[in-house]
Amino acid sequence: EDKVVQSPLSLVVHEGDTVTLNCSYEVTNFRSLLWYKQEKKAPTFLFMLTSSGIEKKSGRLSSILDKKELFSILNITATQTGDSAIYLCAVAPAQKLVFGQGTRLTINP
Amino acid sequence: DTAVSQTPKYLVTQMGNDKSIKCEQNLGHDTMYWYKQDSKKFLKIMFSYNNKELIINETVPNRFSPKSPDKAHLNLHINSLELGDSAVYFCASSQDLRGRGTGELFFGEGSRLTVL
């Protein structure tokens, strides 16, 4: 059965800290790995990764995929209170996205 | 102008009732989905349609019946509601070939269903 596991499940840090969120997966027919941010309502797209070792960057957020070790990390530097959210990792095997359980990130001022 | 919109946003109903949630997307996407998010925030796919054709039907009780009148709409009807059906239901769409889910999903804002 396809499986996506995120860690930690919950993380509380101070504003300005750097955080690393982890996502490991076991899927057949891997196509891509996606990161989403969910605040109060709909998850919003952050990154899609298909190739190993190529970092994707958007402002203070960056992500990288290791297809040999079957994991991805999401880094957030100089965190702000607006980064508080649930971060979801999802993997696309054939035909659907399989989501992890999410990491709830809280940034304290 | 909302890309993926679903109604109602909140639904409170009694056990045993039948209810529907509607979803519409104006992105011109071929594929639409229903996901269920439980109290632990775990998002799990229920159904996927590509151009009105059912592609994915996960292990969902047959009290749940999706209907896609056209590729821009995907509705979810639930019969004989049970307490365990309480969750947030998200509609999503993507521009995928045959619903393969390789690309970005655009989510609606969710419909919070509470069954009493």
Q: What is the DSSP letter of B85?
A: G
How does the average pLDDT of chain B come out, rounded? Answer: 89
| Predicted local confidence at residue A2, as pLDDT | 85
Q: Which residues of A touch B48 (CB under 8 A)?
A: 95-96
Q: How far is A42 from B85, CA to CA, in rounded Å?
A: 19
How far lies B49's CA from each of B18, B70, B95, in Å? 22, 10, 12
Termini Cα distance of chain A:
41
| Predicted local confidence at residue A41, as pLDDT | 84
Which of A31, A43, A95 is opposite residue B107, by nearest beta carbon?
A43
Q: Which residues of B touch A43 (CB under 8 A)?
A: 43, 90, 105, 107
Cβ–Cβ gap A92/B101 under 8 Å: yes
pLDDT in tens, B13-32: 999 999 999 999 999 998 89
Q: Which residues of B touch A104 (CB under 8 A)?
A: 41
| Predicted local confidence at residue A87, as pLDDT | 97
Residue A69's domain spans which residues? Answer: 3-108
pLDDT in tens, A2-55: 899 999 999 999 999 999 999 999 988 888 899 999 998 889 999 999 889 889
Domains, chain B, ordered by start: 4-115 (2.60.40.10)
> How would you class B73 by CB atoms within 10 Å of its CB: exposed for 0-12, middle for 13-18, buried for 19 or more?
middle
Chain B, nearest residue to A95 by Cα? B100
Count: domains in chain A: 1
Kindly report the CATH number assigned to the domain that includes residue A63.
2.60.40.10
Q: Which residues of A touch B99 (CB under 8 A)?
A: 95-96
Cβ–Cβ gap A31/B55 under 8 Å: no
